[in-house]
Structures are given as structure tokens and as C-alpha cells.
Amino acid sequence: MAAGLATWLPFARAAAVGWLPLAQQPLPPAPGVKASRGDEVLVVNVSGRRFETWKNTLDRYPDTLLGSSEKEFFYDADSGEYFFDRDPDMFRHVLNFYRTGRLHCPRQECIQAFDEELAFYGLVPELVGDCCLEEYRDRKKENAERLAEDEEAEQAGDGPALPAGSSLRQRLWRAFENPHTSTAALVFYYVTGFFIAVSVIANVVETIPCRGSARRSSREQPCGERFPQAFFCMDTACVLIFTGEYLLRLFAAPSRCRFLRSVMSLIDVVAILPYYIGLLVPKNDDVSGAFVTLRVFRVFRIFKFSRHSQGLRILGYTLKSCASELGFLLFSLTMAIIIFATVMFYAEKGTNKTNFTSIPAAFWYTIVTMTTLGYGDMVPSTIAGKIFGSICSLSGVLVIALPVPVIVSNFSRIYHQNQRADKRRAQQKVRLARIRLAKSGTTNAFLQYKQNGGLEDSGSGEEQALCVRNRSAFEQQHHHLLHCLEKTTPVGPGSLLSSCCPRRAKRRAIRLANSTASVSRGSMQELDMLAGLRRSHAPQSRSSLNAKPHDSLDLNCDSRDFVAAIISIPTPPANTPDESQPSSPGGGGRAGSTLRNSSLGTPCLFPETVKISSL
């Protein structure tokens, strides 16, 4: 309530008069108050919209932009108002803060924009009033999460680049986790999927009754007993494939213990164990009964599909995250079942030949009624039983309907998050490609300009006018800067490539082209650096160099001076701004050796050496 305090200050000081007669010591003198000018109305012009307020209002918060003398920087003496080139809609909220002491958060604006405005006017985000604070925090957190996801996706890329010296294990693991990376992995992925399907279908078909070939009476056998060999062979094949896959995964896993404990591996084990147990168990009558039970577990093979389907994984994850709601549902249902079963039992006890023989027997009736199934195998016959039965079914509907929306919303949220991540990854590639295109446009402009001889010092007015087709003032300054940079390094027009005859140049160009092409990209890279993009063009240059050695050649010979200027190099590392590694060929004065170094360097080092060379 800082605003309030300022208002009440006169009152508090005046009330101090009450202490005066009691004071035993002389009171300190009052501070020198400069003559107050009285209140005046200030005009604040924000992008054309005029806001007028009392000066006192703004003075309430002296540590903000508007309350301090900082606003004098924005004072326009001609019009007598303070001009801010910012968003007028947002300013409304800022000004209201001064007036009412509470900062409200606009619902329909982007939270990032709001934050920026606050930062500009010197308001701390903690000033957001209680009424809007929760929503503000939620939206900010959501935004931060989304941005973090963006960054993660960007860094993860589409499959991490494997270091060249990765072992078989690592490659295998990667093939298993991202089937899209290589054809073999994809094939393996589909094959396992196929066999899972085959196995499940075989299990199902096994139990269908087939007609006996001899048409003996009406006895029908399930297909499993009619064709035991066929089914056994199919089962064996599937289990072999699954076992092989499991062992391979176990071998390739970076952390075996963690893999053993993971859910998918457990499912794998459960899927293949029954078969082996069946092999090992002798065909005794008493044991084979237990063995039949094991067959049930074969159905878990269907869960192996979750590796192939993301939707299944999402469903599983949702159920796991809604565990508390499900738990609550179960608990309340149990309570209700017990209560109603007890009541129904005692209500129906008097009837003879009743189905409600005990309370647990009544459980079945309660469950069937509460879930509105109503089989009708157990029905109450007394009036009391009917009354309580109807109450039971009504309450069942309510209890079950309650947690369901929570689960649904959870699922929807997770599903959409996943969709969003996928969409963003797809869009990211397009977006980056477009950005790269735009940037290369700028750098091409520079090279074009140089080719047109725009850098000639002796350009007369008309020539220059020709070259300066449609370059903005900014571009002019920018190109001038780059030119200055080039001129900073000592260059003799042909000192290095004086013997730039085509033959040697060609030979060199192949090696040079490595650096040249990457150098012309290097200057692009330089510009890119200037624009703040950290992307490695090395792969690009390597592919393009093979594609167009001629272009680079031409470039080399025509604008030889300029390229030479660029390649002028690293000779004096002292001259170059010291941003490259110190380990770079700094000592080498010979450009040739440097070039050789650079061309022999590993692809990854290209960008760095290129940077040097362009300097």
C-alpha cells in the first residue's frame, strides 16, 4: 500500500502533535521540505494514445521508470508530453498499477509481451496482484515448459549424430531405439511386429473348434488339438525370434541392470518364458494342469506392440499418472459395495430361496447393480430390498462418473503434448530451412555486390549508383563494415595466389576448394556468426565442393583479389580478433601451410579454420 502511505503521511505527522507535550527531550527539527508545486497533470503519449494523470500518482512508486527522473529521457519539449514508443494497450495496465496499487494481468495478451513491458517500465513481476497472480504464474510456467521443449527438440535433432568410432553395441542400441535411422533397423522392426501379430493370432485361432475330418459324431476339437504340430512349429518360430531379439537388446543396452528392470523387458520375458517352461516340464498329468495356466501368459505378447505404437505408450502413461484418481475410485467403490451388500443381505434374509446367501454373495449383486450391468441373476424380492437396490444403482452411477473426466482430461493433455512435440519437430526443420535461405540471401547480396565491383575504391558516382541498386542504408553500412574488416588484414594483391594459374589453381582448388568453397561459405558463416546463428556448414561445404569445383574456380580467378583478400589469412594471428582457438596454426606465417593444414583437417574443424581464414 505504498500509495496509501504517501497519502496518509500528513495525517501521521500531524498526529505526532499528540506526543509533543509528553516529550522529555527536545524533538529533532523537521527535514527541509522543498516548496511543493502543488499537483499538476502530466500527459503521457504512448504510440499516439494520450494518457493523462496527476504527477502525484506517478510519484507513488519512485523506483520505477515513470516515478523517477528516468522519464525525463522521454520528454518531448516541443509537445510538452512524455512519449513512449510502446504498446498502448499494455500501458493501460501499467498506469492502472500506479492508480490503484494493483497490477493486473491482461488475459488475452501474450505473457511474454507483458513481461517485456513490465521490464521496460521497471516493474517487478512480483507486483502482480493476488487476483491475477495464479493465472500469471501458470501461464508463465506453461510458456517456459514449451520453450524448454523447443530447445530440447532442437538439440536432440532427428537422431543424435553418432561419433564415427561408436562401437557395434552403440549402433545396435540406436538401431533398436530409433528404427528410422537405418534400413536394417526398419526391417527388423517390421519383422518383429509381424511375428508378434502372428503369435497372437495363432493363440487365438488355436482355441476355435475345427470340425474333425472323419466327421465322428458331433465331437468338435479345438484347432490346437487337431493340428498340434503346426501350431507348435509356429510357436517355436515366434519364440525363437523373440528370444533372439531379447538377447540382442540385452547385449546392446548401455546399462544392463536398468534394461533388465524396465517394463518392456519384463513383458518380453513374460512372453517367452511359458514356452521354455513348457519344454522343460515333463508331460505329467498333475503338472500339466499348472502348465496350461502358463499358456495364459502367452497373451502378454500383445503388449510387445507398445514398442511399435506410441498411442499405447501414451495410454499406459496416462493410466500411470492418473493412479491417484483410479485409486480413489476403487476405494470409494469398495466402500459403497460393502455398505450396500450388507444392507441387501439383511433386507433379503427373511425371504426363502433367496440368492443372497451371505454378504460376499451380495457383493456380486452390488457390483453388477452399481456398474449398471444388471444381469438379473440376483434380484431382491422384498420391498426394503428393492428400495435399497434402487438407491444402490443410483449411487453407483454417480460414484463411477466422478473420476472419469479427470482421467479423460489427463489423457487428452498428454496426448496433445505429444502431438505438439511431433508437430514442432516437423515444423522446426521447415522453419530452419527458411531461415537459412533468408540468411544466405543476405550473404549472397554481399558477394554479388563485391562481384559487381562495388568495393572498387575508384568507383565514380554513376558506377556506384549502378551497383547500389536497392541497398538500404543498413546494408550499405553493413557491407562497409565487412569491407573494413577485410582491409584490416595486410594484403598484397596477389602475394599468395600470384601463381594462380589455372593448373595449379585447379590442383590447389581441389584442396583449396575445400577451404574456398567453405570460405565463401565461410564469409557467409561469418555473416551468420554476426547474425548469431550457430550452425555448422561443414557438411554443406563438403558436398557442394564436390558438386561445383568450377564455380569455386571461377570465383577464385575472377574476383581473385577479393578472394585472396579473404584467404589472406591467418598469418598474423595478432591482427585477427582473438576468437579462434589458440591452437590454430598461429605460428605459421606461410599461408600455404595453413591452407594445407586446413584442408587436411577433419571436417569438423573446417568451420573453425574457415573462420580464421576469413579473418
Partner 1 sequence: MLTLEWESEGLQTVGIVVIICASLKLLHLLGLIDFSEDSVEDELEMATVRHRPEALELLEAQSKFTKKELQILYRGFKNECPSGVVNEETFKEIYSQFFPQGDSTTYAHFLFNAFDTDHNGAVSFEDFIKGLSILLRGTVQEKLNWAFNLYDINKDGYITKEEMLDIMKAIYDMMGKCTYPVLKEDAPRQHVETFFQKMDKNKDGVVTIDEFIESCQKDENIMRSMQLFENVI
Q: Which positions lie near partner 1, rule CB under 8 A?
A: 1, 3-27, 29-30, 33, 36, 38-39, 54, 56, 99, 343, 346-347, 349-350, 382-384, 387-388, 391
The separation between the first and the last C-alpha atoms of the chain, rounded to the nearest angstrom, is 59
For the bound state, the minimum distance from the C-beta of residue 209 to partner 1, rounded and expressed in Å, comes to: 49
Helix (H, G, I), strand (E, B) or coil at 238: helix
Q: Cα(88)–Cα(111) distance, rounded to whole angstroms?
A: 16
Residue nearer to partner 1 on the CB measure, 393 or 520: 393
List CB contacts of 540: < 8 A, sequence separation 6 or more: 521
Cβ nearer to partner 1, comparing 148 with 394: 394
Least separation in angstroms between CB 385 and partner 1: 8
At how many degrees (to 10) do helices 168-177 and 183-206 cross? 60
Question: Which one, 29 or 254, has the nearer CB to partner 1?
Answer: 29
Least separation, in Å, of the C-beta of 356 and partner 1?
12
**CB–CB of 453/467 below 8 Å?**
yes
Instruction: Provide, rounded to whole angstroms, the least separation between the CB of residue 34 and partner 1.
Output: 11
Residue 420, classed as helix, strand or coil, is helix
Phi and psi, residue 41, nearest 5°: -95, 130
Grid coordinates belonging to 505: 589453381
Q: Which residues pair with 75 in a beta bridge?
A: 82
In the complex, minimum distance from the CB of residue 30 to partner 1, in angstroms, rounded to a whole number: 5
Strand 49-54 with 75-76, pairing? unpaired
CB closer to partner 1 out of 64 and 443: 64
Length of the chain: 615
Containing 81, the helix (H) or strand (E) segment is strand 81-84
Q: Least distance from C-beta 9 to partner 1, angstroms?
A: 8
Please, which residue, 317 or 346, has the CB nearer to partner 1?
A: 346
Strand order in the sheet with 75-76: 49-54, 41-46, 81-84, 75-76
Shortest approach of partner 1 to residue 352 CB, angstroms? Answer: 10
Q: If residue 613 lies in a helix (H) or strand (E), which one and from where to where? A: helix 606-614
Nearer to partner 1, 17 or 279 (CB): 17
| Residues paired with residue 221 on neighbouring β-strands, in sequence order | 210
Closer residue to partner 1 in complex, CB, 131/481: 131
DSSP bridge pairs for 48: none
* 3-state class (DSSP) for residue 8: helix
Task: Give the Cα-Cα-Cα angle 106, 110, 111 (nearest 5 degrees).
Answer: 75
DSSP conformation class of 103: B
Nearest to 379 by CA among 360, 356, 357, 395: 356
Cβ nearer to partner 1, comparing 9 with 501 = 9
Q: Would you say 25 or 358 has its CB closer to partner 1?
A: 25
The minimum distance between CB 75 and partner 1, in angstroms, equals 23
Q: In angstroms, give the least distance from the CB of 337 to partner 1.
A: 19
